[in-house]
């Protein structure tokens, strides 16, 4: 389970645009009010499968009440509601 879409240069930590970026939740840590979703972005799916370094790593604080159901699918569903994941699709 992952997401794919455009990672703009101004969002990527390396300063380049990645038109077929691959974002993967590496883990989630739930607390009472907030669940922290940790995401790695790769240049593309091949880079991820080749165990290359992520081009971005980030932690998203999500309201725990917004994550309904199993944690991993709920984390991806919540991420797709965030502006930087607009237009991203499941892979």
Q: How do the domains of the chain map onto residue ranges?
A: 3-86
Predicted pLDDT at 88:
96
Predicted pLDDT at 39:
98
Closest to 12 (Cα-Cα) out of 62, 73, 53: 53
Q: Structure pTM?
A: 0.90
Q: What is the mean pLDDT of each run of 10 residues along the chain (91 residues)?
A: 94 89 96 96 97 95 94 95 94 94
Residue 64 near residue 32, CB atoms below 8 Å: yes
Predicted pLDDT at 14:
83
Dist. CA 89–CA 45, nearest whole Å: 13
């Amino acid at each position: 389970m992952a997401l794919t879409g455009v990672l703009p240069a101004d969002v990527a930590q390396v300063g380049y645009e990645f038109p077929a970026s691959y974002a993967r939740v590496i883990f989630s840590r739930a607390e009472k009010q907030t669940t922290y979703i940790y995401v790695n972005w790769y240049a593309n799916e091949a880079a991820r499968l080749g165990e290359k370094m992520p081009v971005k790593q980030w932690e998203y604080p999500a309201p725990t009440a917004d994550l309904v159901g199993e944690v991993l699918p709920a984390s991806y569903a919540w991420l797709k509601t965030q502006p930087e994941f607009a237009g991203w699709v499941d892979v």
